[in-house]
Structure 1
Amino acid sequence: MAPGVGAYHVSLLARCGAGWAADNMWLQGVAIALPHVQRTWRMSDAWVGSLTSSLFAGMMLGAIAWGAYADRHGRLFAYHRTLVVAAVGGSLLSLAPTWVAACVLAGLLGIGIGGSMPIDGTLFIESLPPRHHYWLTALSVFFSLGSVVSALAALALLAGTGASWRILLLTLAGLTAMAAAARLGRFRTYESPAFLVACGREAEADLVLQAMAPDHGTLEDALMEDAEQGRNDSGALFARGQARTTILLWLLWTLQSLAFTLFNALYPLYLERKGGATAPRPQAAVLRDVLAYAVSSVPGSLIGAALVRSAYGRYALAMTLSATGLALLMFLWATRTWHVVAAGMAVSLCATTAYAVLYGQTPRAFPTRVRGTGCAIASAASRAAGIVAPMLGGKAPSE
């Protein structure tokens, strides 16, 4: 291991990565299940997006609430509980008796997973020496794998019967519960040393550093810098020299989420109803195409991580977003089924690369004392866009 990192950090990467995987696993899982849920209650295309919007509403609320709490009381409370809430919400969603109940329970699920990504990312980066902050981009690999897990589960479990979507969601809830149990099990997780120093608890921070990795090297210097920053003050997000960065990041999260969520939520429906065919395509074929879409996102995470560390790091986000735009144009012009699938895979690859870059850059752009709040609001802004996106595309599949 390199100086300042050890087995603890690898273990923390896996446990935080499970939280990121759960986020995308549920987003993809709900999107895949949506046509089946729609048929269960015979919902029109204009209203079917309300389930996804409810999920994103819960995610927005969860991101804000968990993030604000984490900046005032520490990262561990939220870290240990977000996936528990998600597992409970997902289990209840699989048993929903009515459409309205499903929307409410999707909101509860969202509250859990909405806090997982910002809290996990914040805790992880604050536990790393500065020279290893690029490890944060590895979490986006787990994020991509989450959609692969959903697609594989759907391919194995989703049948033509009305109850198959319930089995799928219950399976995803079980996987989320396993991830939550891993956080509460034998592997101890320490409070963020950067948070402890920012609160004036330097002695506790030093003990945590020694427990994480005896040779913590340059991390100590970074923590002393955090101590000089003082305690939590949300006004620091808009301090001179920081305000422009804060606003630009939040705007990027909002617009990127609006575009990708709209595409991601409707893609399975589009494949099922159109995809260049004259009649609805077989479900197995649709699910195989969704799996290809999910798998194509995994290299994007690795490419994004490499770009962040390259000489072109400062231009990486602009480059990847431009590539995503070109891929969307390819999708727009696609007519045959294989054209649609290939263009969809290109969108998945490019968009995931852009997200990996954005995920890696965001936490480092905020001071420690407001990092939880800054990341949480960025996440909440993206979830707010996610609420609107399904409604905007409510009639898209049938037009």
Structure 2
Amino acid sequence: MADAKQLHIAMFPWLAFGHMIPYFELAKRIAQRGHRISFMSTPRNIQRLPKVPPNLSSQMNFVSLTLPHHDNLPHDAEATNDLPFHKIPYLKISCDKLQDSLAEFLQKFKPDWIIYDFIASWLPPITAKLGISSAFFSIFQAWSLCFGGSSSSAMINGKDPRTKLEDFTVPPPWVPFKTNVAFRLHEAKKIFDLYEMNDSGVTDMVRAGSVIDGCDVIAVRSCMEIELQWISLLGELHGKPVLPVGLLPPTAYDNRDTLEDNNWLTINDWLGKHEPKTVIYVAFGSELNLSQIELTELALGLELSGLPFFWALRNRDDTVVLPDGFEERVKGRGVVCTSWAPQLRILAHESGLIARVFTEKKVGIEIPRNEEDGVYTRKSVAETLRLVIAEEGGKIYRKKTNELRVLFADEQLHDQYIHKFVEFLENHRQVSNH
């Protein structure tokens, strides 16, 4: 609403850059609409976030929360990418101990809203007591949340009818529409981890269920154009409004510093030397670690394909390395970038074709893997890439991927989703204040 009063919105993402960056992007877009943001994280994480655009600096305040020490955490570890995978539960313990300082902040400043992540299962009782409206913002798309079932029964109370691995390789019984979206056996094994107790004392599924159960609205990084049915189902499962906030492509001011801007100029120059829609972009996000076998087979598969590629490789495990002589052999045709890579800029470049597992929409094709352990071979990598990029049989994938690229680049569309989300926050606040 044009005359809506300025809101004060607190934000608390999980201590992982795959979560903090989307929260930061959402914060910027809310601030652009005149509202005040208090972005809460630890000192070192705040330092490592991108710079705030000058025109928003007065709207965005960073609240530094000192991370309580845990004996199993290295001294300066404040995010998941500072740690090997098995130590992440200890980061969750330290994050849970931020409860008191976060409650103190909320009590003192009484923001109109808090937007928080799956980690903070202890926040809903605090916000309810203080009368602060709350939104759960999921960086994952609606379909993956729907796989958890309803928050009160399946997620929190363990009344999930699925008891064995095979149950997760088919769509859940509560999905009313026809879909092929389900986990492979090797993926189901990892999903089972979410249900199992870890050293933090709370399973990830119970955390997410508690957060969803206690929030006023669910926001998802998605859009109706990609998963309309799943977004509707998510609302039905939890009996709450679900608002997609778009895909949150980075806003125009994306220069972290001159060095990284120069980095983009170099990448852009290299991309410009290749024909449109011929470059493979390889990225797994900041939270996924490849094993040595996976890394080796992927690298040799890219080499075997003979196709140009750009690989944003951010592996946390220093013992996992590229095959000997790989970078030398693919020089000129392939780039391996181990520092920050401007993902959305690369995807928007006309030569960058991204192969995603949007199999149902014919946007991507899965590389054949061993069902048991998920291992793929260099041959299967090379053959799948050649099919998608160059061969006649891959025409449909190239056509559909181009449609998705247009969707990713449609700033007006994503802007409209943010507008509706902010409007909801404004209106809800006005209703609750009467």
- Taking structure 1 as the reference length, the TM-score comes to 0.21
Larger radius of gyration: 2
From the two aligned structures, give the one with the greater strand fraction: 2
Higher relative contact order (CA 8 A, sep 6+): 1
Q: Which has the higher helix share?
A: 1
